[in-house]
Structure 1
Amino acid sequence: MKILITTFAILFSFLTLNSQSLIGAWEANGDIRGKKVRSVVIFSDNHQVGTFYDAETGAFMGTNGGSWSLEDKTITEVIEFDTENPARVGQTNTFEIDVSDDELKIQGAPLVWKRIDNGTPGELDGAWLISGRKVDGEMRSMDTTRPRKTMKILSGTRFQWIAYNTETKEFMGTGGGTYTTENGKYIENIEFFSRDDSRVGATLEFDYELKNGDWHHSGLSSKGQPIYEVWSKRLP
């Protein structure tokens, strides 16, 4: 199982590709010892996340990601989090890729990835870091340069949040699925949640607004608690 998981982690790492034609989300499906596994990669201009989970139950299996750059067919990634191998955090890896129309794969690997979307139609595509939160009615700013990060990466239809620490290499949690943005409403449909599988299938609705480039996000959390958060676009 470890070998198979490591293989998936490598596959996720290579999928940070051409910032013009490959922004968005991609997926691949396969079997691991009788389980149907879905793998989804979301990547923005400079950051990416890849996750795999049970396609039938939504049980979380693993995630990894970081920043990336592309030269010719060579992907270079600096890993920021990796649930299966935390020792990889901070390491730089390179991979060779092949791309044809809406399919892509790592050279020498059998798995073929299919495009889900190209960064549209949702209004929030990109990588975001939490930069503010309302506590007891008072807005408090948060330092986005610290090692302890909460990041959201969104394509045009997919979202994922990840909490981690690049200094300690600790992973705190993640969740994701599909989303829509319409008439000031941001709606999430949860497909996996690392801390609690029972939340798979839940739908959460929030109010959202873009103010001076920041994403203001308010409503009730998955625990039913009121939240007001501010997210800022992540810089390279």
Structure 2
Amino acid sequence: MKYLVALLFGLFAFSLNAQTIEGAWKLTHQNGKPVTNQEFIKIYQDGYFAYGAKETGTNKFLQAGGGLFTMEGSDYAEHLDFYTADPDQVGTKNQYKIDFADNKLVISGKVKGKDLIEIWEKVGSREDDLTQNWVITGRKVDGETRSMTPGARRTVKILSGGRFQWIAFNSETKEFSGTGGGTYEAKDGKYTEQITFFSRDDSRVGASLSFDYEVKDNQWHHSGLSSTGNPIYEIWSSYREAYLNKK
């Protein structure tokens, strides 16, 4: 009997540990209806989330949102830093219930008094050198490093589960400057992005960009040519260390 109880407890603990929210997810159903002709990808990492959405046939950008999240048992909350579908919600917190089942995530609750039920399917859980939530803190221009202090206006880049998304926004004015994302590979100092959505220019979807990278002192040094062909050298730092811990 003691053995059976211990075994059941071990299986239960394993199940809880196996259900991690970090990684990349795709929206499959909303309020009981399948999501068709649109793609919503949501990334969770280091207590932060971001999503981007597009039309699948035209690659037209639809919306983006993200911010900090908390999860305790089945209680789940999102605190919005940016939200293009309804900027008035930036700075607010939405409370939900959350459940895991068969590699799926079920989020349910009310938003502005209306019921919301979403089902997300996990599409990536891979980890690598760059799996983290980052904020830009520096650039090299003409060989000179120029530091940047993230504040209300900041650029964040979240990578997890083989997916990435960058977002430029101002959480105080609720101004949204742009976002883009897709899949990526990071191996042996080479970082390659495959763009699947881009708010500023739909024609960039499908482009592949390669860069050199190095992680030094928990900073991501990123260099190569931008989507416009101009040379760049960016320095990204841990979002928590560079922004949250200094607020």
Question: Which TM-score bucket, shorter chain as reference?
Answer: 0.7 to 0.9
Asked if structure 2 preserves the Cα contact closer than 8 Å seen for 1:19 and 1:45, the reply is: no
Identity, % of aligned pairs? 47
Closer, same or farther: CA 208–19 of 1 in aligned 2, 3 Å = farther
The aligned runs of 1:7-156 (5 Å cut-off) are: 21-29=20-28, 36-107=37-108, 111-118=118-125, 120-144=126-150, 146-156=151-161
Q: Distance in 2 between matches of 1:19 and 1:127?
A: 21
The 2-side partners of 1:123 and 1:141 are apart by 23
- For the 8 Å contact 1:30–1:38, the answer to whether it is kept is no
Hey, what's the Cα distance between the residues in 2 that align with 1:111 and 1:156?
A: 20
SS at 1:140 equivalent: strand
How far off is 1:29 after superposition?
4.0
Q: TM-score, normalised by structure 2?
A: 0.82
Q: What residue ranges of structure 2 are gaps of 5+ in the alignment?
A: 1-16, 109-114
Measure, in 1, the Cα distance between the counterparts of 2:19 and 2:213: 27
Report the structure number with the largest CA radius of gyration. 2
Aligned-pair CA distance for 1:52: 1.3
Aligned partners of 1:95, 1:212: CA distance in 2, in Å? 37
CA separation in 1, counterparts of 2:127 and 2:67?
24
* Count of aligned positions: 216
Q: Is the 8 A contact 1:128 1:151 kept in 2?
A: yes
Q: Distance in 1 between matches of 2:194 and 2:62?
A: 18
| 1:111 shift after superposition | 4.2
**Cα offset for 1:110?**
5.5
Shift in alpha-carbon separation, 1:26–1:39, aligned structure 2, 3 A: same
Contact 2:28 2:121 in 1 (8 A): no
Write the distance in 2 (CA, Å) between the matches of 1:19 and 1:82. 30
Aligned AA for 1:127? N
SS class of match (2:37): strand
**Cα separation, 2, equivalents of 1:164 and 1:201:** 24
Measure, in 2, the Cα distance between the counterparts of 1:155 and 1:52.
17
Secondary structure (helix, strand or coil) at the match of 1:123 reads coil
Is the Cα–Cα contact under 8 Å of residues 76 and 95 in structure 2 kept in the other structure?
yes
Instruction: Measure the CA separation in 1 of the matches of 2:19 and 2:236.
Output: 24
Structure 1 residues 104 and 153: CA distance shift in structure 2, 3 A: same
Equivalents in 2 of 1:19, 1:64: separation in Å? 26
Distance 1:161 1:60, change over 3 A: same
RMSD: 2.1
Check if 1:183 corresponds to 2:184: no
Partners of 2:51 and 2:136 in 1: CA distance: 20
Letter matched to residue 139 of structure 1: T
Kept after mapping to 2: 8 A contact 1:158/1:177: yes
Q: 1:230 aligns with which of 209, 212, 235?
A: 235
Is this contact kept in 2: 1:35–1:54, CA < 8 A?
Answer: no
Q: Deviations over 1:106-136 (max 9, x none)?
A: 2375642111122x24321121000100122
Deviates more, 1:214-223 or 1:64-73: 64-73
The answer on whether the counterparts of 1:123 and 1:156 sit within 8 Å (CA) in structure 2 is no
Change (3 A) 1:106 1:40: same
Structure 1 residue 156: Cα displacement = 2.7
Report if the CA contact (8 A) 1:159-1:177 is conserved.
yes
- Please give the alpha-carbon distance, in whole angstroms, between the structure 2 residues aligned to 1:83 and 1:110: 20
In the alignment, which residue of structure 2 is the partner of 1:162?
Answer: 167
Partner of 2:209: 204
Q: Which residue matches 2:176? A: 171
